[in-house]
Amino acid sequence: MAFRARHLLGIEHLTQDDIRTVLDLADSYVDLNRRTVKKTDALEGMTQINMFFENSTRTQASFELAGKRLGADVMNMSMQTSSVKKGETLIDTAMTLNAMHPDLLVVRHQNSGAVDLLAQKVECAVLNAGDGRHEHPTQALLDALTIRREKGRIQRLTVAICGDIAHSRVARSNLILLGKMENRVRLVGPPTLMPAGVAELGIEVYDDMREGLRDADVVMMLRLQKERMDGGFLPSEREYFHRYGLDAEKLSYAKDDAIVMHPGPMNRGVEIDGTIADDINRSVIQEQVEMGVAVRMACMDLLAQNLRRERGRALTEGQYV
């Protein structure tokens, strides 16, 4: 069986089979979530702690709901008011939490690599809910589920990822996932917001939206990550919208049935025109939010199964984990 990982730290570590296993299970959770009674007992008796060192609206709510629907006891740590502000190191925080015996730890952190580091110090399963510019694996998985349900497949599609690529963990995780599943990925945006060296890696890079969107099946827009910019990356937001903001005219270069995606939060009138974002015939932004809960349920369910297996093995070998 696929997906034998202890943690979900990034798409980088997953195989095609792992990705399919998550998406197939998530499909069944979409059905469950549409029922009146939305509960299962997959995480019954388990404790999930959410630690968000960076602000989040939908990801934190989504993980919380996912854990509750799976029957876990869910605790949200308020990191803004925690001991971290008093100078406690990440490792000390992790060790303190570890002593409370959580089973699943969901972590978002502003520094790339911080979640991996934490995972090495604790005994539970760790899920990366976004670390710096590095990875946001559940976002890429929920995007893949949305695409698969809309297009009927997650292979051989042309996907244009547009905007602030350089600062985006969403772009990075999607680039890896879509590449693993054998899609054609184009990165579209101003050269100042393109990571150095991508063209040399053989990735298609465009600084003209119309060319980049031509015949695309999927148009994935990204937020301008101003909090990660330390200088003048753009002449102005108005100019940016004019050249790179998604409007009806630019979208007309993509396929007639192309879908429009955005991970949120959106800056309307900066990277996307509000009418496109709200157009239910093109935009699948609300579906992405729905798929987010199902994908997080699937990931936590699979990790919990692995934990149980590992602990069962340890028990038969006479040690208590």
Among positions 21-80, residues that touch ligand ASP (CB under 6 A) are none
* CB nearer to ligand ASP: pick between 93 and 139: 139
Query: Min. distance of Cβ 314 from ligand ASP in angstroms?
Result: 35
Query: Min. distance of Cβ 237 from ligand ASP in angstroms?
Result: 15
The DSSP call for residue 218 is E
Spatial CA neighbour of 208 closest among 162, 164, 177, 171 = 162
- Of 102, 190, 263, 292, the one binding ligand ASP (CB under 6 A) is 263
- Of 130, 189, 212, 245, the one binding ligand ASP (CB under 6 A) is 130
Query: Min. distance of Cβ 203 from ligand ASP in angstroms?
Result: 20
Q: Does 169 bind ligand ASP (CB under 6 A)?
A: yes
Q: Does 292 bind ligand ASP (CB under 6 A)?
A: no
3-state SS track over 26-89: HHHHHHHHCCCCCCCCCCCCCEEEEEECCCCCHHHHHHHHHHHHCCCEEEEECHHHCHHHHCCC
Query: Min. distance of Cβ 178 from ligand ASP in angstroms?
Result: 17
What lies within 8 Å, CB to CB, of 44 at 6+ separation is: 71, 72
As a whole number of angstroms, the distance between CA 76 and CA 59 comes to: 12
As a whole number of angstroms, the distance between CA 240 and CA 232 comes to: 12
Tokens of 315: 């028990």
C-beta nearest to ligand ASP: residue: 223
The position carrying tokens 């001991």 is 83
Query: Min. distance of Cβ 267 from ligand ASP in angstroms?
Result: 9
Give the HSE-up count for residue 266: Cα atoms under 13 Å, Cβ half-sphere. 23
Q: Does 282 bind ligand ASP (CB under 6 A)?
A: no
Longest dimension (CA), the chain: 66
Query: Min. distance of Cβ 130 from ligand ASP in angstroms?
Result: 4
Q: Does 127 bind ligand ASP (CB under 6 A)?
A: no
Task: Show the binding pattern over residues 186-225: x = contacts ligand ASP (CB under 6 A), - = does not.
Answer: -------------------------------------x-x
Q: Which residues in this chain contact ligand ASP in the complex, by CB under 6 A?
A: 130, 136, 169-170, 223, 225, 263-264
